[in-house]
Structure 1
Amino acid sequence: MTKIKRNAALLAASTAVLALTAPLTATATAAAAAAPKPLDWTKCEGAETDPRQRCATLEVPMDYAHPKGEKIEIAVSRIPAEKPSARRGALFLIPGGPGGSGLNSPSDKGQRLPEQVRDAYDLIGIDPRGLAASTQVDCGLEHGDLAASKLRPWPAADGSITENMATARRTAKACARNGGDLIRNLSTANEARDIDRIRAALGERRISAWGVSYGTYVGAVYSQLFPHRTDRFVLDSNLDPDHTRVARAWNAGHEAGVEDTFPEFAKWASAPGNPDRVAKTAAEIRPLFLRLAERLDREPIPWPGANPEELNGNVLRQTMLNALYDPDRFAELAKLIRAARKGTVPPAPEGPPEAVLQNVSAVGAGTLCNDVAWPRSAAAYEKDVAASRAAHPLTAGMPRNAMLCAAWPFEPKEAPVRITDEGPSNILLVQNERDVATPLKGALKMREALGRRATMVTVNSTGHDAYLANGNECGDRTVSRYLATGDRPDQDTYCA
């Protein structure tokens, strides 16, 4: 998926604690698993794609507890294996998010895969339930509530979360009013069930997968629910799978992610010869950034065309968070810092169309809020935010704050899936050491949960998305070899 879509999807991150209902019954799950019809492949519509890519839609139950009830459509794409005599099966390219589109992944990121991998697998892309070419969901949020610094719950300059709680109530109410029955049936477990329905429609006994970011959690949940259906699984840029917190743990992880990654930005932004140089030494960058954010809290700069139409402290902090996803984006943050210090702003950034943001935000909200129940008490968030602000001033309390799930009007329909070491040992984790969105600290929790099922390749690199993106040659080679040949490291490996 594109970086724009990835970043828009990740705007909605966070989720919570207990108060869960019983899981789906075995009878309902078995009934839902009746074999679907084969897929009817046609030319893909819309964006330019590889001419070999074909698209189809698959009907799945909206609610797997009622498999004979209302149906929704899942959009699927495929580029067949390039060497039929070497074909092993289907490789699912599971997008991040929640809210990331993967329908065109076979045509873009799939073509970065080495020839030996493309020879062996049909490349399968999907738009998860609720998204884009699949049956869509929309919360109908106000324009201001689609701002990146609003979708992330940044506290007020004084640490107050009063406005965040009001935003949570307003946006959760909009999702309940406009999201229909579909928004209640968005969840990671249901996305995994949709993938298994696609597997069945493809006629595959087992599938392989490359899941990225939130896609690592989807892949882990699939491997837990359908272990006998897994072949070679690669989980890239891994999330903490804590079943008591789910995305609340992911959002909290930004504290460690920013602390791990900001020093790399500081080195880059102080390098001699850098046209976007911010300071003469790396040690100056952090206090400079913090002082500037505090000044913008007090004295925002008008920013026509942006959302919101001012550069305040939280907009600067959100820009920092976005830029740390990829070293190629460091210049974006440096240019904003340099302009703001002079009391000016660069041209307003271009974001996705509002209709795309509405859709992505709704999918993110429904998935995160339905996976596990969130605390409802403002006092709990106030305490966490205060502690977070004191320990991690760069993130200013945002990672522990309340998003719309704190006011979500629905209870989860089932308990979150607990990731364990039960199942075949066929998972390879790949993880950058410095990753702002899925930090190494959380990835090690995924490694621990999977136990004997997995080995892990830790890559000495900076940025989100390791394999064939922001990793290194050693990590890429290790993952490619596993997908192509099944040769996985016998033990956890470090790629320097």
Structure 2
Amino acid sequence: MRRVLSVGVAVILLGASLVPATAQAAVQWGACPANYPAGLECSTLMVPLDYRRPDERQIEIALTRLPSKAPAKRRGVLLVNPGGPGLPGAAVPVVLELPQSVRDSYDVIGFDPRGVGRSTPLTCNLTEAQSAVAAAPPYPLNSADVAKAAEIAKTVARQCTTSETAELLPHITTANTARDMDRIRAALGEPKLSYYGDSYGTYLGAVYTTLFPYRSDRIVLDSALPPEGYDVDALRDQGLGFQERFPDFARFAAADPQRYGLGATPAAVTVKWFQLTKRLDQAPIQGYDGTLFRTIAAFYLRAEFYLKDLAELMHALDTSRPLPTARKAAAVDDRGSFPVGHLAVICGDSRWPTSVRTYQTNVAIDRIRYPLYGAWSANIRPCAYWPAPATAKTRITDRGPSSVLILQNERDPATPLRGAKRLRNALGAKARMVVVDQGGHGAYNPAMNACGNAAVTTFLLTGHRPPRDTFCPAESVAPPA
């Protein structure tokens, strides 16, 4: 999710000079593949693989457009990114469920970042088993488990950095994706770019507005990473986020002990969590081991309407009853690129510790600091065996017009408020921040806090933000059905 200070200004100036203000060719829109949501138009754009050598090898970026249906109200383009990194963004203009007033005001543009989905792909030639653990290793119960994960991580890193697409890896970075975004802007004939980014997409947006401050129009960062992006510290912060979010779930489950059978108080639900995870770590139950269960739980904590699913799953596993029907996630056309695209960015953006002993120590520390989940997010990743980043990391600064709005849930399990506050401070006077008294990951949602939603919609439509950082109180919402 989150580096170099002394060369930050040079990187900013270099980044701004690498991409021309006008593109060589306009985007030609056409039909999308059959599995894409209705209403989208598709195209591609060629961009330099290496922006230091813009006339050499070009790679393809897949684009989508949800065009405004109200030409008289259209004011520009709104580029959107769902985070990850490694997630394709082609379907996001539809999946995001933007208010109609925003859709009328913008052509909403999605794109698969370089190396992902239908853009020029990466490969590590991973087996199915390797793909399952490449970006998410098993939950470590002890130092020996970290050592085992290190061997898997080493193998994955070797396969990625020696594969037939290895020459692309040094160029699959957040800064280069931001430069691709400016190429998209120019190809669309727009003098400025408005943007909505969620999760890792907040760091991408912060890098864009740092590299191109005077081409940034209205920049919305929802559920923000720290200013260093998705690095080892941001990953470990997920242990903190889980710890801060879990009490919401415990209160939810305790409010209906007859239905969920997890306890009549939040404390009892928490005890049940530790009892169940201990059992699952010793032996799987109905196909769930401790790693899979924690992974699913972390996903369910990201949205209020999934709390019921987590409570039902816990109850079924605890009592050996039939498992509830799992919700189906929205279809994503990533062509199996997620693990590789994810690793390429997080490993290529940042330096990670290289000592297995460091990760063993971190796991031991976070097992105590964040006992609900922290040991998992402290475990070793293939980044420990990745080549050093090829270029200096972009330092986020306050340079340029005041054009950023950060929206942040108070109890976000994936990108905790602590990191979002640090990004807010790095952006300085160019940003405002709205904190919402609710849990979950992703705050701009029609089913969530009206105060937070209104702040974003008003900014996108009018350019007006709160005059100062502000707080949205909790709102009562109907419990999940």
Question: Greater CA deviation, 313-322 or 430-439?
Answer: 313-322
For the residues of structure 2 that align with 1:29 and 1:208, how far apart are their CA atoms?
Answer: 17
Q: Does 1:123 align with 2:108?
A: yes
- Indicate the residue corresponding to 2:45 in structure 1: 58
Q: Does 1:77 align with 2:55?
A: no
| Residue identity in the other structure for 1:256 | L
- Indicate the residue corresponding to 1:253 in structure 2: 237
Gap change, CA 1:464 and 1:351, over 3 Å in 2: closer
For the residues of structure 2 that align with 1:327 and 1:126, how far apart are their CA atoms?
Answer: 28
Deviations, residues 159-193 of structure 1 (Å, cap 9, x unaligned): 43111111110111121233432233211001100
Gap change, CA 1:195 and 1:25, over 3 Å in 2: closer
| Residue identity in the other structure for 2:270 | R
For the residues of structure 1 that align with 2:5 and 2:220, how far apart are their CA atoms?
Answer: 30
Gap change, CA 1:41 and 1:167, over 3 Å in 2: same
Match among 219, 222, 240 for residue 233 of structure 1: 219
- Indicate the residue corresponding to 1:464 in structure 2: 441
Determine what percentage of the aligned residue pairs are the same residue: 37
Question: TM-score scaled by structure 1?
Answer: 0.88
SS of residue paired to 2:92: coil
Match among 401, 414, 418 for residue 395 of structure 2: 418
For the residues of structure 1 that align with 2:454 and 2:37, how far apart are their CA atoms?
Answer: 27
Q: Does 1:38 align with 2:26?
A: yes
Gap change, CA 1:121 and 1:21, over 3 Å in 2: closer
SS of residue paired to 1:210: strand
Gap change, CA 1:301 and 1:430, over 3 Å in 2: same
| Residue identity in the other structure for 1:324 | L
| Partners of 1:435 and 1:464 within 8 A in 2 | yes
Q: By how many angstroms is 1:343 displaced?
A: 4.4
For the residues of structure 2 that align with 1:396 and 1:301, how far apart are their CA atoms?
Answer: 22
| Residue identity in the other structure for 2:202 | T
- Indicate the residue corresponding to 2:460 in structure 1: 483
- Indicate the residue corresponding to 1:382 in structure 2: 360
Q: By how many angstroms is 1:394 displaced?
A: 0.7
For the residues of structure 2 that align with 1:357 and 1:287, how far apart are their CA atoms?
Answer: 40
| Partners of 2:118 and 2:334 within 8 A in 1 | no
| Partners of 2:245 and 2:413 within 8 A in 1 | yes
- Indicate the residue corresponding to 2:478 in structure 1: none
| Residue identity in the other structure for 2:111 | I
For the residues of structure 2 that align with 1:27 and 1:400, how far apart are their CA atoms?
Answer: 34
Gap change, CA 1:473 and 1:352, over 3 Å in 2: closer
Match among 381, 384, 389 for residue 403 of structure 1: 381
What is the root-mean-square deviation in Å for CA atoms of aligned residues? 2.8
For the residues of structure 1 that align with 2:324 and 2:132, how far apart are their CA atoms?
Answer: 16
Deviations, residues 211-236 of structure 1 (Å, cap 9, x unaligned): 11111100000000000100111111
SS of residue paired to 1:123: strand
| Partners of 2:15 and 2:179 within 8 A in 1 | no
| Partners of 1:461 and 1:470 within 8 A in 2 | no
| Residue identity in the other structure for 2:251 | K
Deviations, residues 1-20 of structure 1 (Å, cap 9, x unaligned): xxxxxxxxxxxxx6799999
Any stretches of 5+ residues in structure 2 without a counterpart? Answer: 474-481
- Indicate the residue corresponding to 1:331 in structure 2: 308
| Residue identity in the other structure for 2:124 | C
- Indicate the residue corresponding to 1:291 in structure 2: 275
Gap change, CA 1:317 and 1:113, over 3 Å in 2: closer
For the residues of structure 2 that align with 1:55 and 1:234, how far apart are their CA atoms?
Answer: 24
| Residue identity in the other structure for 1:96 | G
Gap change, CA 1:384 and 1:207, over 3 Å in 2: same
Gap change, CA 1:38 and 1:325, over 3 Å in 2: same
- Indicate the residue corresponding to 2:130 in structure 1: 145
SS of residue paired to 1:59: strand
Gap change, CA 1:36 and 1:493, over 3 Å in 2: same
| Partners of 2:351 and 2:389 within 8 A in 1 | yes
Q: By how many angstroms is 1:31 displaced?
A: 5.6
Gap change, CA 1:42 and 1:117, over 3 Å in 2: same
For the residues of structure 2 that align with 1:203 and 1:473, how far apart are their CA atoms?
Answer: 34
- Indicate the residue corresponding to 1:223 in structure 2: 209
Say how many residue pairs are matched: 469
Gap change, CA 1:222 and 1:396, over 3 Å in 2: closer
Match among 158, 174, 178 for residue 173 of structure 1: 158
Q: By how many angstroms is 1:260 displaced?
A: 1.3
Question: Greater CA deviation, 325-334 or 16-25?
Answer: 16-25
Deviations, residues 280-331 of structure 1 (Å, cap 9, x unaligned): 221111121112212222233352xxxxxxx222222222212111122223
Q: By how many angstroms is 1:490 displaced?
A: 0.4
For the residues of structure 2 that align with 1:208 and 1:28, how far apart are their CA atoms?
Answer: 19
- Indicate the residue corresponding to 1:9 in structure 2: none
| Partners of 2:313 and 2:324 within 8 A in 1 | no
Gap change, CA 1:139 and 1:46, over 3 Å in 2: farther
For the residues of structure 1 that align with 2:385 and 2:182, how far apart are their CA atoms?
Answer: 32
Gap change, CA 1:16 and 1:492, over 3 Å in 2: closer
Alignment of 1:295-374 (within 5 A): 295-301=279-285, 303=287, 311-343=288-320, 346=323, 356=334, 358-374=336-352
| Partners of 1:336 and 1:345 within 8 A in 2 | no
| Partners of 1:482 and 1:488 within 8 A in 2 | yes
Gap change, CA 1:227 and 1:16, over 3 Å in 2: closer
